[in-house]
Amino acid sequence: MNTASKSLSRRAARRFWGWGAAGTVLDTREQATVKFMVEQLGGQFAALTPPAVEDFSLSAPRIAAPTTLAAMFSSAPLDRLNHAYGKSYADCSRMWLRQVPRPPDWVAYPDDEQAVVDILDWAVRNKVAVIPYGGGSSVCGGVEPAVGHDYAAAISLDMERLGQVLEVDSVSRAARIQAGAYGPDIEAQLRAHGLTLRHFPQSFEFSTLGGWIATRAGGHYATQHTHIDDFVESTRMVTPAGLLQTRRLPASGAGPAPDRLVLGSEGTLGVITEAWMRLQAKPKFRASASVKFADYFAAARCLRALTQSGLNPSNCRLLDPMETVFSGVGDGRQPMLVLGFESADHPLNAWMERALELVRDHAGEYDAAAVARSMATEGSQEHRKGAAGAWREAFIRMPYWRDPAVGLGVIMDTFESAITWERFEFFYQNVKSEVQSTIQRVTGQESLVSCRVTHAYPDGLAPYFTIAVLGSANGDVASALSAWREIKLSANAAVVAHGGTITHHHAVGRDHRSGYELESPLLFRQMLGAAKKVVDPSGILNPGVLFDAQGHSAAAGSVLAG
Ligand SMILES: Cc1cc2nc3c(=O)[nH]c(=O)nc-3n(C[C@H](O)[C@H](O)[C@H](O)COP(=O)(O)OP(=O)(O)OC[C@H]3O[C@@H](n4cnc5c(N)ncnc54)[C@H](O)[C@@H]3O)c2cc1C
């Protein structure tokens, strides 16, 4: 057992208090952007000393680690801090405040699936809550060990050692992959086979296959294969009641699909240890365009025409004027549609030409020469240049900019939903204005609220809002966090009240439970509760996340409760 200060993690060190690799520094341009943003919001820029492990005094573990598994158990402060929270705005601001009252008692790093079984057995016998942990990139309180007083202790079960691609079937184009594999590890191991999973959430670098499946993550494709669900062929999950292994099949009509219960289970029904995932050949042909419109709703109508055309662009992200500023691709006056097609098999000229006809029908403007260059040669890198390339770069780097701004009292947060087309305009206007008026009321500051459409469907779309505001006039992080609670509750209420879902792809966790309870039928949640009683009769798995088998209120345990 590791009670020393050295981490038992075998991965490169990450920032426990923010996003990404521990050694990451912002380049000069990024630092200037953060300074500009903080000052634009009315704050004062200063270089802060980020939280250090020594700043925290963590309570001692409440239970001894099991002797036979002790080599996989760590109580090193860095491990406990890394597993105390996910990566939401509230998580990062609590780290800046040096507030970690409930770290996991232990962090367990199982070496293999049998160790997962043994750890769950021990946890059941000792009434210890177990929080399955992938990359810890949850933004809805999914990995926080805030389990209440019904447990002797709480441990975080980090799956990083189950990180291999175990088998590749290049005939059916699928691979058996362990749940703890991070995005880049999966792609690196598949590269030798000329195949790719192509699931690229913004958190790709620091999130895992198991986490994606458990949260039904949304990835790279803006249309058609939007969620990880579409790539899951079969799953394997260890539960306190035994092993659930589903059969590899391309499709099946045999009753309710068991994989569908594993998908989105958020660590409450079992620990996913592996899955067979559908793969693809790496794309060779690409076509891309950046399209500007005079009006956001005209742009949205164009997006609807594109999604209803059956062209299925792989990229189809619509940025409202403010979002073009956040992404560094516009000046805030016009909305922009980032459009792209990709294929491993065929040139895409016909697809792009038809898409551009639709764009012209909706008065969209684009650089025809740049579009032609993107299609001119196999393997063209044009999609990495211009506005589309700038958007992609900002997409990857943006989480890194947030950290210093949060320490300076800026609330930077996102919330996302999905809504059918006929209600979109009403939804967008009302959600935005209600959240903005809450922000104004609780902070007294002018805010920036932007929206991008991350995924689009023939019958609707997934709007993703970003807010940036100075949390209080004096830039104090505690005041900002308390203002954020009201803003988050207001956003949760607004998206559901106006007909949307509480989450399109960020999952329910603890922070979205109130909305989930409004949107999902009670009878369904009771069915889910009954399934939970079968696989986890002692209720040790991620208590309080998604739903609470013990009948605690939706707010209990969430950072929203204060
Ligand atoms: C900067 C940033 C960008 C993001 N971008 C996206 C995005 O583009 N698309 C998107 O969908 N989400 C995004 N997210 C949210 C987050 O990355 C996803 O929810 C992701 O799927 C979580 O994966 P993870 O491995 O980090 O899981 P964790 O955060 O470790 O866990 C998430 C949930 O899954 C459960 N879990 C994890 N592993 C297992 C397992 N093996 N078995 C059972 N349960 C498990 C946990 O208990 C928890 O409830 C983003 C988050 C951040 C901070």
Spacing, Cα 235 to ligand 1 middle (Å): 17
Do 165-281 and 285-378 share a fold?
Answer: no
Spacing, Cα 386 to ligand 1 middle (Å): 30
**CATH fold for the domain made of 165-281:** 3.30.465
Q: What is the pLDDT of residues 87-108, one digit of tens each?
A: 999 999 999 999 999 999 999 9
Q: Is the pLDDT of residue 552 over 80?
A: no
Beta-bridged to residue 419, according to DSSP, are 461
Q: Work out the average pLDDT over 361-385.
A: 85
Spacing, Cα 334 to ligand 1 middle (Å): 32
Q: Work out the average pLDDT over 477-482.
A: 97
**DSSP class of residue 365?**
B
The residue type found at 550 is Q
Q: Work out the average pLDDT over 157-170.
A: 98
For residues 505 and 491, give the distance between their C-alpha atoms in angstroms, rounded to a whole number: 16
Counting from 1 in the atom list of ligand 1, the atom nearest the Cα of 218 is: 11
Counting from 1 in the atom list of ligand 1, the atom nearest the Cα of 273 is: 41
Q: Which of 37-46, 129-138, 535-544 has the lowest mean pLDDT?
A: 37-46
Spacing, Cα 17 to ligand 1 middle (Å): 17
Q: What are phi and psi of 430, to 5 degrees?
A: -75, -45
Residue whose CA is closest, atom 11 of ligand 1? 217
Which of 218, 186, 185 lies closest to 202 in space, CA to CA? Answer: 218
DSSP 485-514: HHHHHHHHHHHHHTT--S-SSS--TTTTHH
CA dihedral 336, 324, 205, 547 (to 10 degrees): -90
CB-based contacts of 504, cutoff 8 Å, min separation 6: 218, 416, 417, 418, 454, 455, 462, 464
> Which region, left, alpha or beta, applies to residue 198 given φ > 0 means left and ψ of -120 to 50 means alpha?
left
- Which of 24, 93, 131, 137 should be mutated for ligand 1, with most atoms under 8 A from CB? 137
Are the C-beta atoms of 210 and 236 separated by less than 8 Å?
Answer: no
Beta strands in 134-270 (DSSP E): 153-158, 165-169, 174-178, 195-196, 232-239, 242-245
For residues 182 and 160, give the distance between their C-alpha atoms in angstroms, rounded to a whole number: 8
Residue whose CA is closest, atom 2 of ligand 1? 203
**CATH fold for the domain made of 285-378:** Alpha-Beta Plaits (3.30.70)
For residues 182 and 307, give the distance between their C-alpha atoms in angstroms, rounded to a whole number: 31
Counting from 1 in the atom list of ligand 1, the atom nearest the Cα of 402 is: 1
Tokens of 29: 């341009």
For residues 127 and 556, give the distance between their C-alpha atoms in angstroms, rounded to a whole number: 19
β-sheet with 232-239: strand ranges across: 165-169, 174-178, 271-278, 232-239, 242-245
Spacing, Cα 480 to ligand 1 middle (Å): 25
Are the C-beta atoms of 373 and 382 separated by less than 8 Å?
Answer: yes
Kindly list the protein residues whose Cβ atom lies closer than 6 A to any atom of ligand 1. 19, 86-87, 131-139, 142-143, 159, 179, 201-203, 207-208, 210-212, 214-215, 217-218, 266-267, 271-272, 399, 505-507, 542, 545
Mean pLDDT of the chain: 94
Per-residue confidence (pLDDT) for residue 3, from 0 to 100: 54
For residues 161 and 78, give the distance between their C-alpha atoms in angstroms, rounded to a whole number: 18
Spacing, Cα 366 to ligand 1 middle (Å): 35
Q: Work out the average pLDDT over 129-153.
A: 97
Spacing, Cα 103 to ligand 1 middle (Å): 19
Spacing, Cα 297 to ligand 1 middle (Å): 32
- Which of 215, 216, 317, 453 should be mutated for ligand 1, with most atoms under 8 A from CB? 215
Residues comprising the chain, all counted: 562
- Which of 87, 133, 466, 547 should be mutated for ligand 1, with most atoms under 8 A from CB? 133
Q: What is the pLDDT of residues 427-451, one digit of tens each?
A: 999 999 999 999 999 999 999 999 9
Q: Is the pLDDT of residue 1 over 70?
A: no
Tokens of 500: 């949307």
Q: What is the pLDDT of residues 446-476, one digit of tens each?
A: 999 999 999 999 999 999 999 999 999 999 9
Q: What is the pLDDT of residues 263-310, one digit of tens each?
A: 999 999 999 999 999 999 999 999 999 999 999 999 999 999 999 999
Q: Work out the average pLDDT over 96-123.
A: 98
Per-residue confidence (pLDDT) for residue 278, from 0 to 100: 98
Counting from 1 in the atom list of ligand 1, the atom nearest the Cα of 267 is: 44
Residue whose CA is closest, atom 48 of ligand 1? 142
Per-residue confidence (pLDDT) for residue 383, from 0 to 100: 67
For residues 198 and 479, give the distance between their C-alpha atoms in angstroms, rounded to a whole number: 41
Q: What is the pLDDT of residues 512-539, one digit of tens each?
A: 999 999 999 999 999 999 999 999 999 9
Q: What is the pLDDT of residues 197-223, one digit of tens each?
A: 999 999 999 999 999 999 999 998 999
Q: What are phi and psi of 220, to 5 degrees?
A: -65, -40
Q: What is the pLDDT of residues 230-245, one digit of tens each?
A: 999 999 999 999 999 9
Spacing, Cα 544 to ligand 1 middle (Å): 17
Instruction: Assign 381 to helix, strand or coil.
Output: coil
Mode of pairing for the β-strands spanning 460-470 and 410-416: antiparallel
Spacing, Cα 215 to ligand 1 middle (Å): 6
Q: What is the pLDDT of residues 319-358, one digit of tens each?
A: 999 999 888 888 899 999 999 999 999 999 999 999 999 9
Tokens of 266: 């958020």
Q: What is the pLDDT of residues 486-519, one digit of tens each?
A: 999 999 999 999 999 999 999 999 999 999 999 9
Counting from 1 in the atom list of ligand 1, the atom nearest the Cα of 87 is: 53
Q: How many CB atoms lie within 10 A of CB 523?
A: 8
Are the C-beta atoms of 291 and 336 separated by less than 8 Å?
Answer: yes
What residues does each domain of the chain span? 165-281, 285-378
Distant-in-sequence contacts of 42-48, Cβ < 8 A, 24+ apart = 42/445, 42/446, 42/470, 42/473, 43/408, 43/409, 43/410, 43/470, 43/475, 44/408, 44/475, 45/408, 46/408, 47/404, 48/404, 48/407, 48/408
Per-residue confidence (pLDDT) for residue 32, from 0 to 100: 86
pLDDT band at 26 (very low <50, low <70, confident <90, very high): confident
Are the C-beta atoms of 28 and 36 separated by less than 8 Å?
Answer: no
Spacing, Cα 135 to ligand 1 middle (Å): 7
Q: Which residue has the tokens 């947060």?
A: 413
Burial class (CB in 10 A: 0-12, 13-18, 19+), 49: exposed
Which of 297, 334, 263 lies closest to 461 in space, CA to CA? Answer: 297
**DSSP class of residue 348?**
-
- Which of 14, 117, 203, 206 should be mutated for ligand 1, with most atoms under 8 A from CB? 203
CA dihedral 551, 552, 558, 560 (to 10 degrees): 120
Spacing, Cα 160 to ligand 1 middle (Å): 13
Q: Work out the average pLDDT over 257-264.
A: 97
Q: Which of 309-313, 362-366, 385-389, 407-411 has the lowest mean pLDDT?
A: 385-389
Q: Is the pLDDT of residue 550 over 80?
A: no
Per-residue confidence (pLDDT) for residue 4, from 0 to 100: 58
Per-residue confidence (pLDDT) for residue 562, from 0 to 100: 80
- Which of 207, 230, 391, 416 should be mutated for ligand 1, with most atoms under 8 A from CB? 207
